């Protein structure tokens, strides 16, 4: 018979998936803390809330395995209660209740008040914008919209997150002010689709106006854009990026593919020619912009010719940052009606080929940085290195600048000018600028 744990009432929030889930967990934790609950993120606790991801097969598998892990801990008395929330729970709740009945309760993506009630807390409306951040103190995510109206054939996000819903500019500015007061210096704007922001509230794409308001917040020094969409991109955003020093010369714009037959089947609303022209306009407007994209290989019907078109285009465009994923055949999406006819081995081989190309491009671009000085934010210390980033790099997914901690000291959370001394394909090595200048003067005859 299972025994009750002897741990005090402490709620452990476990977060899986993307930055949007991180944000949601932070909101949940802020509400719990305001209700005088003891709460922690991915630490031991006798009550566990698992915020799941249900986007693609690998993420779903990780979420299910995590649920099973904590159900087992509940069975042996290491935890008392297990609650599940997030995208997987939203998408597969009846199946999960049937297959893993030992979870105390399942909640969807919009069930926060009910989840709080189950945890013995009240939803506090006046706390909108309050969060218990889990990222390093110098940066935080700001979710500017929920859901998505795009019709992409491969994507299950609308099934889990619903239609696009923008947050008012005033609310986002207020939230940003609270983050800045806590020491946040870098704001990472996230949504399923940043470029759609404002259409529902203001009847126009209003991302540029939002940026103009956010840059006025004292204490915020960098604002970074994640998850733009290529169709209908509001070009005035580029003017703001060019003229506002706080807006990083960086954009994450998942393009998914470039062969026209695949783009059409994916229902992306664009073509190779239009996408290439858009990126050329990006480069012309902000010449030193770092463009990050993600690609999908192995989509139903992707021929060798389609893949060769994609490979050649990646070579041609020389993206600063790129990720590549294999297609996941997701129930209830339009693409699920198609035959998943590219073998898994072929999918993986194609992904590897794309990343080999990108690795070489990244190495070449990084070699050009040697000897140059960049303003960097210091995120953390790891082993014998302090770890920082340039404005052209986002946390967790992009290049890092490593500073030898046995020779140099930099303060975590500060901006530091670093001169790049070495570079590999995905890492840079930097020396604090003053030290680099001193070394240079010593070497000069």
Q: Which residues contact 10 (CB under 8 A, 6 or more apart)?
A: 38, 39, 40, 44, 45, 46, 47
pLDDT value at residue 310: 98
pLDDT value at residue 131: 87
436 and 419 in contact (C-beta within 8 Å)?
A: yes
The H or E element that residue 106 is part of is strand 105-106
Relative to beta strand 373-382, strand 415-423 is: antiparallel
Residues in the chain with pLDDT values less than 70: 1-7, 129, 434-445
Relative to beta strand 81-86, strand 105-106 is: parallel
The pTM is what? 0.90
Number of H helices, E strands in the chain: 14, 18
Task: Outline where 166-255 has alpha helix (H).
Answer: 169-181, 199-202, 207-214, 236-243
The predicted-structure confidence for 13-71, as pLDDT tens digits, reads as follows: 999 988 999 999 999 999 999 999 999 998 889 999 999 998 888 889 999 999 999 99
pLDDT value at residue 435: 53
What are φ and ψ of residue 46, in 5° steps? -85, -15
pLDDT value at residue 443: 40
10 and 39 in contact (C-beta within 8 Å)?
A: yes
pLDDT value at residue 7: 57
pLDDT value at residue 144: 96
Q: Is the dihedral of CA 203, 204, 207, 211 positive or negative?
A: negative
pLDDT value at residue 358: 97
DSSP string across 390-404: -TT--TTTS-EEEEE
289: left (phi over 0), alpha (psi -120 to 50) or beta: beta
């Amino acid at each position: 018979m299972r025994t009750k744990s002897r741990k005090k009432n402490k709620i452990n929030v476990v977060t899986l998936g993307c930055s949007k889930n991180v944000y949601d967990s932070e909101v949940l934790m802020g509400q719990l803390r305001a209700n005088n609950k003891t709460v922690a993120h991915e630490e031991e606790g006798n009550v566990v809330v698992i915020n799941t991801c249900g986007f693609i097969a690998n993420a779903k598998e990780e979420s299910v395995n995590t649920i099973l892990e904590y159900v087992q801990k509940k069975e042996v008395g290491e935890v008392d209660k297990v609650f599940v929330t997030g995208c997987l729970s939203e998408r597969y709740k009846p199946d999960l209740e049937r297959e893993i009945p030992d979870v105390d309760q399942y909640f969807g993506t919009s069930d926060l008040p009910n989840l709080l009630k189950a945890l013995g807390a009240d939803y506090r409306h006046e706390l909108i914008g309050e969060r218990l951040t889990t990222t390093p103190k110098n940066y935080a995510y700001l979710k500017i919209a929920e859901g998505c109206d795009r019709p992409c054939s491969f994507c299950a996000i609308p099934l889990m997150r619903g239609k696009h819903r923008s947050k008012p500019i005033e609310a986002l500015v207020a939230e940003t002010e609270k983050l800045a007061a806590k020491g946040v210096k870098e704001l990472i704007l996230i949504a399923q689709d940043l470029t759609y922001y404002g259409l529902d509230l203001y009847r126009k794409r209003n991302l540029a106006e939002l940026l103009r308001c956010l840059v006025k917040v004292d204490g915020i020094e960098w604002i970074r854009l994640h998850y733009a969409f290529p169709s209908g991109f509001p070009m005035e955003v580029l003017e703001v990026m060019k003229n506002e020093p706080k807006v990083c010369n960086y954009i994450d714009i998942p393009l998914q593919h470039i062969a026209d037959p695949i783009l059409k089947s994916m229902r992306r609303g664009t073509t190779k020619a239009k996408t290439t022209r858009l990126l050329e306009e990006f480069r012309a407007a902000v010449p030193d912009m770092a463009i990050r994209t993600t690609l999908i290989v192995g989509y139903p019907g992707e021929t060798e010719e389609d893949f060769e078109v994609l490979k050649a285009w990646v070579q041609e465009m020389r993206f600063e940052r790129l990720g590549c994923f294999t297609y996941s055949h997701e129930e209830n999406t339009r693409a699920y009606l198609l035959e998943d006819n590219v073998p898994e081995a072929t999918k993986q081989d194609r992904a590897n080929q794309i990343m080999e190309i990108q690795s070489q491009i990244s190495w070449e671009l990084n070699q050009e940085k040697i000897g140059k000085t960049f303003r960097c934010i210091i995120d953390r210390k790891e082993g014998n290195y302090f770890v920082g980033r340039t404005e052209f790099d986002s946390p967790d997914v992009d290049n890092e600048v490593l500073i030898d901690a046995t020779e140099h000291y930099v303060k975590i959370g500060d901006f530091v000018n670093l001169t790049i001394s070495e570079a590999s394909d995905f890492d840079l090595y930097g020396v604090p600028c003053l030290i680099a200048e001193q070394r240079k003067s010593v070497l000069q005859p």
